[in-house]
Structure 1
């Protein structure tokens, strides 16, 4: 799938290999959803990941010197921001192997390294992970378990509808530029949250 190295709208110090802003997620699959092949979420920079990246770059003390895991990494934008902000080790994982590969390629384009093997993380970053009624409960379970083990959990969420707000404290909000073909809007107000 052809992509172009482009600056991230909310974090222009990071560039990613992305699809054109005139293309939507399911345009890349011929307009169909196939359960045997995930849609290429990694070919776009989602609002939650952008917000986390901006937050980490503006607050490097959040990750500096720490082991960080970008869970459900997509394009790897939050992982790359963590590496740029001085994290000791950054892992970027995703259910889709193509996303993990994209995150490594995007990291290399930004002269940082991300691994696909988390090392007992001290911080978990999760952008746009509460997007469906089937995914949200599993993500909540994973993040709550990490939090019980004293892992700092930061989530970027643009109000997807399945976000368990009662478990989180809002840190800040950003107005994030997004492709209209992807979100049916040109910006999404996106909150960075810390799990209680």
Structure 2
């Protein structure tokens, strides 16, 4: 798997998060066909939501410094790496795609940090973390329906939860509070545009 990741990606500085170098593919469709997976190779690109969360964490290191951090649907590891660079005590990078954890490890090593890998679907559980980060997880209806309760449970369990979203239609904005907003550069091959307005949110307090 490591050879596959290295063969089909190139190491590049992330434009909106230049502190982080990632291995990035040229185009999603050819790589997806090569993987034969049911899901796109999320691990091969710096998605807008993840870039937003990574930027926020690096600009506000106090939110993760010295804390146990959990990166949900880590993909390339961008958000997890940013948390580690910002001084997190430990960072768990979690994804259901084993290839993502391979890519995240390669990227972490390139940035001089270490991550704790976890290949698992945790959405029906509550994780033991002080900070839960998620980049671009509201990309379709089914994922949104599964991830929102997870994020709210993490908040109820005492974690700081931050989620990055580039105006995907499935994030219920009435149940979240805006933390920060950015104009994030993205590959045109992924989004059809070169910049996406991206917001970092946290779950709103539960109304009694």
Residues 107-143 of structure 1: per-residue CA shift (max 9 Å, x gap) = 1110000102597210000000000011101001111
Scaled by the length of structure 2, the TM-score of the pair is 0.87
Partner residue in 2 for 1:151: 159
Scaled by the length of structure 1, the TM-score of the pair is 0.92
- Within 2, Cα distance between the matches of 1:30 and 1:42? 14
- Root-mean-square deviation (Å): 1.8
Residues 149-192 of structure 1: per-residue CA shift (max 9 Å, x gap) = 11111000001110021221101111111000110000001001
Partner residue in 2 for 1:184: 192
* 69-78 vs 112-121, which moves further: 112-121
1:48–1:157: 8 Å Cα contact kept in structure 2?
Answer: yes
| 1:121 alignment partner, one of 119, 129, 132 | 129
- Gapped regions of structure 2 (runs ≥ 5): none
- Gapped regions of structure 1 (runs ≥ 5): none
Alignment of 1:80-119 (within 5 A): 80-117=81-118
- Within 2, Cα distance between the matches of 1:37 and 1:115? 25
> In structure 2, the residue corresponding to 1:29 is in which secondary structure?
helix
- Give the length in aligned residue pairs: 191
2:25–2:31: 8 Å Cα contact kept in structure 1?
Answer: no
Q: Structure 1 residue 27: deviation in Å?
A: 3.0
Partner residue in 1 for 2:49: 48
